[in-house]
């Protein structure tokens, strides 16, 4: 791309091939696919006025499920995280943490949390699921559960202690929301939440980085799950 942008060569695009071409056929979506989120993408970072704009993607460092029906169980190794409620089982919430240390003191323009929705794949839900993001109190991934945030240390509120966007303890103004209609089904793609304000607060040092607490606004008949870091 540098060679094209500099004029060294005329822009004739890319030729894409496999190094070997026997018994190794694969396919990617093209620009003609109906879902624009599945089309080929080219991301270019440009230095403007000698100030670099950097786009980076982080993978989850820690994520744990909080399950009301297993209040003492540490759930950090599942391949999914889940939110909402099932009437005869209870509620589900999650805590998630990304290492943002290299952004300390940085001027954050945008931060997006992307979650890949995969369940339930074959049936609708009686109620919509409104996913919400809050700032949790500190927690230890080796010991966190529905009842506890660390070894021998309970949450003040079972299911997790959090602060909302206004700094209110157990408040109801989330940093970000996402609505998944009960009538819709997973469609093999990421869903995004704008967590810019919370990441800015972490990067500026206003609050220690305790990650995200993820829950559903209501927690009845609206259980869904996303893939986890595992």
Each residue of 7-21: pLDDT tens digit?
A: 889 999 999 999 999
Query: Looking at the domain assignment, is residue 166 inside a domain?
Result: yes
- Count of structural domains, the chain: 1
Q: pLDDT (tens digit, 9 = 90+) per residue, 145-179?
A: 999 999 999 999 999 999 999 999 999 999 999 99
In whole angstroms, give the CA distance from residue 213 to residue 95: 5
d(CA 192, CA 194) in angstroms, rounded, equals 7
Residue 50 — very low, low, confident or very high, per pLDDT cuts 50/70/90? very low
The pLDDT confidence band at residue 53, using thresholds 50, 70 and 90, is low
Q: What is the pLDDT of residues 117-148, one digit of tens each?
A: 999 988 889 999 999 999 999 999 999 999 99
Q: Quick check: 127 and 220 in contact, CB under 8 A? A: yes
Residue 130 structural domain: 62-227
pLDDT, residue 45, reads: 73
Q: What pTM did the predictor assign?
A: 0.76
> Would the pLDDT of 51 be above 60?
no
Q: Say if 38 falls within a structural domain.
A: no
**42 falls within a domain:** no
Amino acid 58: pLDDT:
66
User: Is 139 among the domain residues?
Assistant: yes
Give pLDDT, residue 87.
85
**Percent of residues in the chain assigned helix, strand, coil, to nearest 5:** 10, 30, 60
Is 221 domain-assigned?
A: yes
């Amino acid at each position: 791309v540098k060679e094209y942008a500099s004029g060294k060569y005329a822009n004739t695009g890319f030729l894409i091939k496999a190094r070997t071409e026997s018994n190794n056929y694969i396919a990617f979506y093209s620009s003609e696919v109906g879902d624009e989120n599945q089309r080929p993408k080219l991301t270019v970072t440009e230095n403007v006025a000698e100030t670099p704009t950097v786009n980076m993607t982080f993978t989850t460092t820690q994520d744990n499920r909080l399950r009301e029906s297993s209040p003492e169980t540490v759930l950090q190794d599942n391949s999914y995280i889940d939110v909402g409620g099932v009437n005869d089982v209870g509620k589900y919430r999650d805590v998630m943490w990304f290492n943002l240390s290299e952004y300390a003191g940085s001027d954050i323009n945008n931060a997006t949390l992307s979650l890949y929705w995969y369940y339930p794949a074959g049936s609708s839900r009686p109620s919509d699921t409104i996913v919400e993001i809050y700032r949790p109190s500190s927690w230890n991934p080796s010991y966190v559960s529905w009842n506890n945030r660390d070894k021998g240390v309970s949450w003040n509120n079972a299911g997790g202690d959090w602060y909302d966007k206004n700094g209110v303890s157990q408040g109801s103004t989330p940093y970000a929301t996402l609505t998944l209609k009960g009538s819709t089904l997973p469609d093999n793609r990421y869903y995004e939440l704008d967590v810019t304000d919370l990441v800015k607060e972490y990067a500026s040092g206003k609050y220690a980085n305790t990650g995200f607490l993820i829950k559903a606004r209501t927690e009845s008949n609206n259980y869904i799950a996303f893939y986890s870091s595992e």
